Structure 1
């Protein structure tokens, strides 16, 4: 049985949509999945990127496009009251639900995504956060240093493995990024012969013709 790791940050609507679509993409493939919460802002810092919401026109397009995708896919996604927001409380809560040496359950991750992307509420409203914690991990402390360290370590490990965005699925050391990467992932897992041809490997060897100064 092949093993996948699904890296996500609940700040990402694409991660929420990909999470919802993942079971369909993997149907009949006999795989297991670890759900790994990571800090997307850590990726941006490591790679010197701006987030989509930091570029005004891209921010507008992102919200329109994810709302269309939710409509097209029949998924109940609504924008939260404000975005972006600080996802650290939610990421830490995810890790607080996971026993030592394990990652959060799909059920726990689903509750966090629904908290953010269904109903149009404020993801950081103290009462809503407390209700979510009571629902998920009433006896655990998401602010404990061990929980914070698990999140830091997962994010650092992901950057070291080459991840640059969320959602990303990793299998066999290969990275499949984004909602639209699920079709590619499914084809790879089903043994599509295209992956044995030159295109997959050669794409990473394309020479750089010109780089921006300072990049």
Structure 2
């Protein structure tokens, strides 16, 4: 089965919106998605890019744009968290603690994305993080290769980030199909055409 490498960071609203749209894009195809969390800040550093969130006018635009996009796609639960940007590394490590083979399943990704982008609360609040771990308890219990806090878990996140950089990724969401990298929420129609041509 052919696969799409989907690189994302939970801090990115565009990655969340792309994640929500992916099933429709892939409808009718035989492609499997490998969901791979990365450290967006590490990618920016490696590629020499200034983080958009560090530029106030750009950050404000991203907020307004993504709120509008969410309404357009009927996602009425979408809310920006109280604090943004925030350090999402802990959330990515939690996701990878649910991993069996170095990528996570859709349930894990969706649970964490919704934790961040639904409701508007602080995603790093200790009480909310504890509740999130409870939601993922079954996934955590099944996956023992990359336990939370372990060196294996930390190294896997670094390796996935480097894998993205090596594939030419310079931001998220990014998709790699047959060695071709596509970037951004607005690249989803291009992704759909590409996989249709490859089927």
TM-score for the superposition, normalised by structure 2: 0.92
Higher relative contact order, chain-length normalized (CA < 8 Å, sep 6+): 2
Q: Which residue of 2 aligns with 1:183?
A: 189
TM-superposed deviation, 1:5: 0.9
Q: Which residue of 2 aligns with 1:94?
A: 95
Could you tell me whether the CA contact under 8 Å between 2:79 and 2:120 is conserved in 1? yes
SS in 2 for 1:169: strand
TM-superposed deviation, 1:183: 0.5
Unaligned runs of 5+ in 1: 193-215
Among 159, 162, 166, the alignment partner of 1:153 is 159
Could you tell me whether the CA contact under 8 Å between 1:14 and 1:66 is conserved in 2? yes
CA distance in 2, matches of 1:161, 1:177: 11
CA distance in 1, matches of 2:151, 2:2: 33
Unaligned runs of 5+ in 2: none
TM-superposed deviation, 1:131: 1.2
Write out per-residue CA displacement over residues 124-171 of structure 1, whole angstroms, 9 at most, x where no aligned residue.
001111111122145574222111111011101111121111010110
CA distance in 2, matches of 1:191, 1:52: 34
SS in 2 for 1:44: helix
CA distance in 2, matches of 1:35, 1:16: 12
TM-superposed deviation, 1:102: 3.7
Could you tell me whether the CA contact under 8 Å between 2:8 and 2:36 is conserved in 1? yes
TM-superposed deviation, 1:51: 1.2
Could you tell me whether the CA contact under 8 Å between 1:89 and 1:142 is conserved in 2? no
Q: Which residue of 2 aligns with 1:104?
A: 104
Write out per-residue CA displacement over residues 60-107 of structure 1, whole angstroms, 9 at most, x where no aligned residue.
1000000000000101210001100000110000100012x3411100
Deviates more, 1:9-18 or 1:145-154: 145-154
Q: Which residue of 2 aligns with 1:20?
A: 20
Could you tell me whether the CA contact under 8 Å between 1:3 and 1:33 is conserved in 2? yes
CA distance in 2, matches of 1:92, 1:121: 20
SS in 1 for 2:197: coil
Q: Which residue of 2 aligns with 1:125?
A: 125
Could you tell me whether the CA contact under 8 Å between 1:95 and 1:151 is conserved in 2? yes
SS in 2 for 1:35: strand
Q: Which residue of 2 aligns with 1:163?
A: 169
> In the alignment, does 2:66 pair up with 1:66?
yes
- Considering only CA atoms, is the larger Rg found in Structure 1 or Structure 2? 1
